[in-house]
Structure 1
Amino acid sequence: MGKHSSAVTKSNNNRRPVYLTAVGLLVLSLGAVFVVRSFGSESGADGFLGGKSCDDPTQIRLSTTPELQPQLESAAKSLANKDNNDGPCLQFTISAAPSAKVAQEVKNGNDNGPDLWVPDSSLWIAQADDGQTVPAIAVPSVASSPLVLVGRGENFANTSSWLSSFAPPTSPALLDPLTQSPGTLALLSIASERAKTSATDLQTAGVLIPLAQRLGSMAKPYTDVNGLFGRANQDGSNVVVPASEASFVRYQEEHPEAQLKAILPRTGTLVLDYPVVVTAKSNSEAVTEAGKALAAEMLTDAAGQARDDAGFRDPQLSPLGGGRGVGDVTQLTKPTTAAINKGLLEWTKLSLSAHSLAVIDVSGSMAEKVGNKTRMQLTIDAAASGLKLFPENAALGLWTFSTKIGDLGADFRELVPIAKLTPAQRQRMLGSLTTQTAIPNGGTGLYDTAIAAVRAVRSSYDPSAVNSVLLFTDGKNDDPGSLSLARAVQTLESLRDPARPVRIIALGMGPDTDAGELRQLAQATGGQSYVARNPSDLQQVFIDALQNR
């Protein structure tokens, strides 16, 4: 949990001085952000909310996202000041922590977890499922803030959709999608808006894969939105930042000289909704009523003005006062739990760096024409396009294979050793790819090549990356001197190490591909196989493989 702040009040007299407790002084001495505060009486007792004197208040531990903590503390204090002798006797202790962190603590059954939780987005509720219950929503929203895109005006030439706004030459800087709601909602917005756009899987992957690879290669993900605003504000910057409207408004007020603007893509946006969630394992009915009482105080007219001043909208998304923010909002369809889980899982896989060996079939059948191009040319096109999706921190190498084309009669030939994709390495890869041609009458030495490729990647294993063999072929093994399929599968299984996995991602093309053979080879390593019966679909198959590696 975060550093604690207590809203503690006692209602048996009207004197409510504010003082720092000894714990608060200790927190200050440690340099903490959140100060422990008490609103209480001179009697020295623990303090109550509810407008009447009682000896045994219901203790309510509430955790919220840091930016909403002051609003909830004010609401708790205001609730205490009300003369409500029929209301419950409550004591709130309000702390602040990132929503993703609280979700994980609730999921793990932390004994010191909160009774009530106000995350910045309801997307985290499903992530708090402990396997027995999903936390219940007491109040759907006590505030809201739409997701906006922030940057310099010259970077918003195409705002027809989130996807187009993310496309080059802009450089999207996402707060960590695995822990920060604006980053998560940005990815979910791209998925949600596809009901309104004609974006293909290839177009979507062409933006998201390099973005995930670039951000995933960073030593530390982005978590400071103000720092990103500062980068976006620099002269000539092409950085655009998905962020809450509230964070942008606060930044504007603190930096009136900033040359930033916030826009909404025309497809619409998703919203941070700040629900009140019951996470208590016992006494849930009383905790629910406490949450409703506090939420009602948050939604009074008096609290509404303070909420607006802080840059938050009401739950109905009414525009902010004074012409601040982005005005009226069109909402995208709220993602389902399944869509949220899928989005987070896909990002996790995509953001892992690559340590891969591309192995391309150059047997005689690759010279066969499909339309205006040969299978070889289609494979080169797909591999060259795929190469553009990897950032410089990825490590790639290139082999070709047929039968007896390598040293000592090997079925494979090393063209480019695995190395980081520096501009020079990238050029070596492209140069070698574009000069490949099918070998007349060459066979397909698939089994021996697959085994050798896995061993090669293992020999240079990178524990921080996805280690894989990208195997392109248009046929099946036809090397009479090679192992049998059963023996090849057995050998690949013997090389399998769960602690150091090297997976085959097999990409077959054309009607001669033996899908069952590729599937067995890939599964022996924990990998997957894909087949494009029409070789012209190979590029899409390659994208699917990268997304599901």
Structure 2
Amino acid sequence: MGRHQTAGGALGVVLRGLVLLLAVGLVAGAGWYVLHDTPAGDGGGQCPTTLRVVTASSFSTVVSAAGRTLRADKDCIQLDITTADGRPAAGQLAQVNADVWIPDDASWATVAAPGLLAPTGKDSPAPTLATSPIFMVTDEATAARIKGGQEGGWLALAELLDAKSSGVRLVVRDPSLSGDGLVAAGAVGEAVWLKEGMDASSLALNTTLTVTRTVTHDLAATPDEPGEVGLVPEYALLPIMNLAQTRTYLAGADHTALMRYTWLPTAAAARDPKRVAALRRLLDSFGRTEVRQAITAAGLRGPGQVRPPFEGGSALPEPTAPPFDVLGAHHVQHVFATWDPEDRRGNLLIAVDMAGPANGASPAGSAPGKQAPIDVLKAGCRVVGDLMPVGSGLGLWEISPGQPGGYRKLLPSDRLDDTSKAAFTRSVNTLTTHKPGPGLLDTIVAAYQSVRDDWHDDMFNQVFILTDDANKDSANAAAVSAMVEKLKGLQDPQRPVTISVVVLGKKDAADRLKAALQPLGAYVDNAQQVDDVQAAFIHVVAGGLHE
């Protein structure tokens, strides 16, 4: 939701009440709207400077309070405020020519257009104006299961969600539309990432989504049934504490999930000395008494990290664990790629290379019950196909020594719909092993050129290679080097194509190809099972090639 106003006295009072209503779910809406207000009696044009501010709905009353204090100054400043949440807020920055963005978490900076925000770093970190910890809200029995798990925190919750048979389900706001949802969903993924790594985190988020109720309107993500765990920020819980006495609240003993309301000036404003001076005055105003009171009234914690004094608030445990780090760009995209199929939209060409026993059986000496590589390959292709949304481009090639070019096109690249998806599945089911032979390296080059020539500017463009490297192409340094040079010659900065290679069962081969393809920014990984193939695909569509 977005809304637009000029800071004024009466409107601030109205909006303070509206924020609390939104928090308990009494007001719901969609889209965005514009409100204009000019303080009575001043004609709306007496202040020499107007700053354009984009901020989250849960912080709008605070910014309005800051606007009132600045307008009362002798050399007054007027604020032109646009309220917008989540990813849509980033689009509002350029549309309203914003001077500063104050989103409900610092991680939103990663979705802004490149160069739009003023740079930050260790020497100039973005100031945090307020915070709100996120609590797990559930019934007493489910809370006991979480407290009895891994350190009684976010990792324990993630493990219960991963075990679908546990009966534990998640409730979260849409991560693309609010910091409530992004930080909450991100916390589940981060807990797994910190312990087991990126691939495990990708899989955990995808499993979590299957047992999640996502709230898409302006409602708090409170649980409705036993077994549900709602992830709700403190600012939304405080106004309703006396209405929910039977719930149990957990802060997380391993980490604290923390929303950070962050000061993010735009690059254009940072280049204008006059606007820099005005922004400094606005930033300083958040330390004034009226503005600090507005932070408290909104249910947020100020710089002292003290819980606002709401009736019933003592029922919430005080978070004591260290907070998760702010989600980085790749971590944010992992969440988006999980929740929104449109973030997985792409022009994808899959090329498979599998040698081995003619019947596809596991090699001699394999552990009992271990999937045959051909079965991992087929299932991996089906998983990737299922993750691609309708409207994507999808093709399937099979490396086949002896064929012209070393491959055959089982399914030419085509727009994905129900018919082409069924054709893709049939083609995958026909995949068989072949005798070891050359073809892998030439096929990578041909596939790259095919995707480059059929490049789409509205989606990612990718070559996805699945191979067992039975021909030991990775060990042929001269041939691999020649392939890399050919690919360099085909690169077009205006039509970038990602190369992703998953080597089935052979880490040494994956390591060799990873080193050789590094100059091309390619992603190379090793896979032992279908989950590894799925994790590799999600990692790449989320935009992380080198992590």
TM-score range, shorter chain: 0.5 to 0.7
Deviates more, 1:97-106 or 1:423-432: 423-432
Gaps of 5+ in 1: 10-17, 19-30, 49-55, 82-86, 216-221, 479-483
**Does the 8 A contact of 1:513 with 1:531 survive in 2?**
no
Considering only CA atoms, is the larger Rg found in Structure 1 or Structure 2? Answer: 1
Q: Which residue, out of 303, 307, 312, partners 2:300?
A: 312
Gaps of 5+ in 2: 15-30, 147-151, 474-478, 542-547
Indicate the residue corresponding to 1:288 in structure 2.
Answer: 280
Indicate the residue corresponding to 1:327 in structure 2.
Answer: 317
**Does the 8 A contact of 1:468 with 1:504 survive in 2?**
yes
Q: Which residue, out of 87, 97, 109, partners 2:83?
A: 97
Secondary structure in 2 matching 1:95? strand
**Does the 8 A contact of 1:188 with 1:343 survive in 2?**
yes
Alignment of 1:412-491 (within 5 A): 414=410, 439=434, 442-447=436-441, 449-450=443-444, 464=459, 466-476=461-471
Secondary structure in 2 matching 1:295? coil
Cα distance between partner residues in 1 of 2:460 and 2:109 = 30
TM-superposed deviation, 1:35: 3.4
TM-superposed deviation, 1:150: 5.8
Read off the aligned partner of 2:524 and give its amino acid letter: Y
**Does the 8 A contact of 2:4 with 2:80 survive in 1?**
no
- After superposition, what is the alpha-carbon deviation per residue over 1:202-250, rounded to whole angstroms, capped at 9, x for unaligned? 43121235679999xxxxxx894436849x64x79x8866453323556
TM-superposed deviation, 1:352: 1.6
**Shift in CA distance, 93/449, structure 1 to aligned 2, threshold 3 Å:** closer
Q: Which residue, out of 472, 486, 510, partners 2:506?
A: 510
**Shift in CA distance, 176/198, structure 1 to aligned 2, threshold 3 Å:** closer
Alignment of 1:207-356 (within 5 A): 207-209=204-206, 224-226=216-218, 229=221, 233=224, 242-248=231-237, 263-275=250-262, 280=269, 281-283=272-274, 284-285=276-277, 287-298=279-290, 303=293, 307-308=296-297, 310-315=298-303, 316-318=305-307, 321-324=310-313, 326-335=316-325, 340-347=328-335, 351-353=343-345, 355-356=348-349
TM, length-normalised to structure 1: 0.63
TM-superposed deviation, 1:145: 1.9
**Shift in CA distance, 294/505, structure 1 to aligned 2, threshold 3 Å:** closer
TM-superposed deviation, 1:377: 1.9
**Does the 8 A contact of 1:7 with 1:76 survive in 2?**
yes
Secondary structure in 1 matching 2:236? helix
**Shift in CA distance, 373/111, structure 1 to aligned 2, threshold 3 Å:** same
Cα distance between partner residues in 2 of 1:139 and 1:488 = 48
**Does the 8 A contact of 1:213 with 1:390 survive in 2?**
no
Indicate the residue corresponding to 1:21 in structure 2.
Answer: none
Indicate the residue corresponding to 2:27 in structure 1.
Answer: none
Secondary structure in 1 matching 2:6? strand
Cα distance between partner residues in 2 of 1:426 and 1:244 = 43
Q: Which residue, out of 180, 184, 187, partners 1:186?
A: 184
**Shift in CA distance, 429/6, structure 1 to aligned 2, threshold 3 Å:** same
Deviates more, 1:124-133 or 1:319-328: 124-133
TM-superposed deviation, 1:326: 3.6
**Shift in CA distance, 467/342, structure 1 to aligned 2, threshold 3 Å:** closer
TM-superposed deviation, 1:359: 0.9
Secondary structure in 1 matching 2:195? coil
- After superposition, what is the alpha-carbon deviation per residue over 1:131-182, rounded to whole angstroms, capped at 9, x for unaligned? 76549789742x43222456788887647416336536436655244x6323
- After superposition, what is the alpha-carbon deviation per residue over 1:498-533, rounded to whole angstroms, capped at 9, x for unaligned? 77766542233538849767877x789x6725364x
TM-superposed deviation, 1:4: 1.6
- After superposition, what is the alpha-carbon deviation per residue over 1:478-510, rounded to whole angstroms, capped at 9, x for unaligned? 8xxxxx878877876787777776654223353
Cα distance between partner residues in 1 of 2:43 and 2:229 = 51
Indicate the residue corresponding to 2:350 in structure 1.
Answer: 357
- The count of aligned residue pairs is 478
**Shift in CA distance, 154/5, structure 1 to aligned 2, threshold 3 Å:** farther
TM-superposed deviation, 1:421: 8.5
TM, length-normalised to structure 2: 0.63
Cα distance between partner residues in 2 of 1:511 and 1:76 = 59
TM-superposed deviation, 1:547: 1.2
Indicate the residue corresponding to 1:113 in structure 2.
Answer: 98
**Does the 8 A contact of 1:213 with 1:353 survive in 2?**
no
Indicate the residue corresponding to 1:175 in structure 2.
Answer: 174
- After superposition, what is the alpha-carbon deviation per residue over 1:229-287, rounded to whole angstroms, capped at 9, x for unaligned? 49x64x79x8866453323556889xx69998765444333322335566653244454
Indicate the residue corresponding to 1:53 in structure 2.
Answer: none
Q: Quick one: higher RCO (CA 8 Å, sep 6+), 1 or 2?
A: 2
**Does the 8 A contact of 1:149 with 1:240 survive in 2?**
yes
Secondary structure in 1 matching 2:328? helix
**Shift in CA distance, 530/277, structure 1 to aligned 2, threshold 3 Å:** closer
Q: Which residue, out of 203, 207, 211, partners 1:206?
A: 203
**Does the 8 A contact of 1:312 with 1:320 survive in 2?**
no
Write 1 or 2 for the structure with the bigger share of helix: 2
Read off the aligned partner of 1:333 and give its amino acid letter: P
Read off the aligned partner of 2:539 and give its amino acid letter: Q
**Does the 8 A contact of 1:518 with 1:529 survive in 2?**
yes
